Amino acid sequence: MKDLKIDSKVGLSNGVEMPIFGLGTFQSRSGKETRDAVAGALRVGYRHIDTASMYGNEEDVGAAIKESGVPREEIFVTTKLWNSDHGYDSALAAFERSRRRLDLSYVDLYLIHWPVEDVRNESWRALETLLEEGKCRAVGVSNYMTRHLEELLEKSSTVPAVNQVEFSPYLYQRDLLEFCRRSNIQLESYSPLTKGRKLDDPKLIALASKYSKSAAQVLIRWALQHRIVVIPKSSRRERIVENAGVFDFVISPEDMKALDLFDQDLRTSWDPSTAP
């Protein structure tokens, strides 16, 4: 476990390697805030940035990458298809708009942001086309529950490389994690810090103090030790550094089990569990 580093990678089902740790950018404002956050993260050693068309900051993510001087191929960039852009032709066009805003020749991972009923499988065909054409290195989904994945796997021979869902000790979706593992789908955790809501939980703080770490660092490390890709968001320089300080300690197996029991079905984002 100590072997994990800031740029450690997991192998996706199609052979592409994805850094297990990255920067989230939801609610990072467009302009200087996002540019500084991405630039700062790249300086600290982050090599994976998560954005989405809906976040309105793809241009800034792309500009910060370009200005960083870090070779493009060393950075893993994810963006997402927004709900109003579903459908085969619309998804292709939306991808192209995202790619241009990012000003990149390819995107590393393109995700369906949400399993929009009736049209999601048409959109998936578009993602297959983008993959075949080499415009993205991997394609996947987000907010897919097991039944959405089952439907997709039944209809398509392209396994989504990744499923990005809300995941933390407070929302330990063990069945979904196991389903993804069995199906060769890499699980990725969003809102790993519960959007900050549980960072003052005394149980969590007590556990973190044993390791002389912050509550946020323990939540991130918990995901890493479960071999889940994790993308904590911050636009503050000191927190971007803090959140990357998770590669010099190991949570014991007993404490991992204790954290697993923190589950209280807490969702801090939208809830796909009832999405048809």
* The one segment of 3-11, 20-28, 96-104, 123-131 that binds ligand NDP by CB under 6 A: 20-28
* Binding of residue 164 to ligand NDP (CB under 6 A): yes
Number of amino acids touching ligand NDP (CB under 6 A): 28
For ligand NDP, which residue of 231, 244, 246, 259 counts as binding (CB under 6 A)?
A: 231
Please choose, from the candidates 21, 10, 272, the residue with its C-alpha nearest in 3D space to the C-alpha of residue 161: 10
3-state secondary structure of 79: strand
- The residue sitting closest to ligand NDP, measured at its beta carbon, is 24
To the query of whether residue 170 is one of the catalytic residues in this protein, the response is no
Radius of gyration of the CA atoms of the chain, in A: 18
- Parallel, antiparallel, or unpaired: how do β-strands 17-19 and 9-11 relate? antiparallel
* Binding of residue 220 to ligand NDP (CB under 6 A): no
Please choose, from the candidates 27, 26, 23, the residue with its C-alpha nearest in 3D space to the C-alpha of residue 49: 23
* Binding of residue 267 to ligand NDP (CB under 6 A): no
CB 197 to ligand NDP: min, Å: 8
* Binding of residue 119 to ligand NDP (CB under 6 A): no
- Which of residues 15 and 47 has its CB atom nearest to ligand NDP in the complex? 47
* The one segment of 7-15, 153-161, 173-181, 193-201 that binds ligand NDP by CB under 6 A: 193-201
Of all residues in the chain, what percent are helix, strand and coil, respectively (each to 5)?
45, 15, 40
* Binding of residue 26 to ligand NDP (CB under 6 A): yes
Contact (Cβ atoms closer than 8 angstroms) between residue 220 and residue 46: no
* Binding of residue 98 to ligand NDP (CB under 6 A): no
Residues lying near ligand NDP in the complex (CB under 6 A): 24-26, 50, 113, 142-143, 164, 190-196, 199, 214, 216, 231-236, 239, 242-243, 269
